[in-house]
Amino acid sequence: MTQGIIIADDLTGAADAGVAFARGGLIALARVMPDVIPPADVDALSTHSRDHSEEASLRVVSQTAAWVRKTHPEE
């Protein structure tokens, strides 16, 4: 079961955030295609939205959060 989920605006941010959890002994994966990688303790998801407008970033992050709620109902 996933213990934490990070939503970052780019892959570097997702990876950097996951490092702290990995140092604590958890399996942390920075994911670009979350459906094709085995489960982890911590999922660090990149929205690739760093260069988007505020409106577009909000939309992408909201869609990602909805996906997380749908695919991780136990969290």
> Among residues 31, 28, 26, 27, which one has the least CA distance to residue 11?
31
The pLDDT of residue 69 is 87
Tokens coding 36: 């094709």
31-51 tens-digit pLDDT = 776 666 667 888 888 898 999
Spatial CA neighbour of 10 closest among 38, 39, 42, 51? 51
Closest to 44 in 3D by CA, of 1, 2, 73, 71: 2
Residue 24: the pLDDT is 93
Please state the domain extents for the chain.
4-71
- The pTM score is 0.74
Average pLDDT, the chain: 86
6 in Cβ contact with 43 (< 8 Å): yes
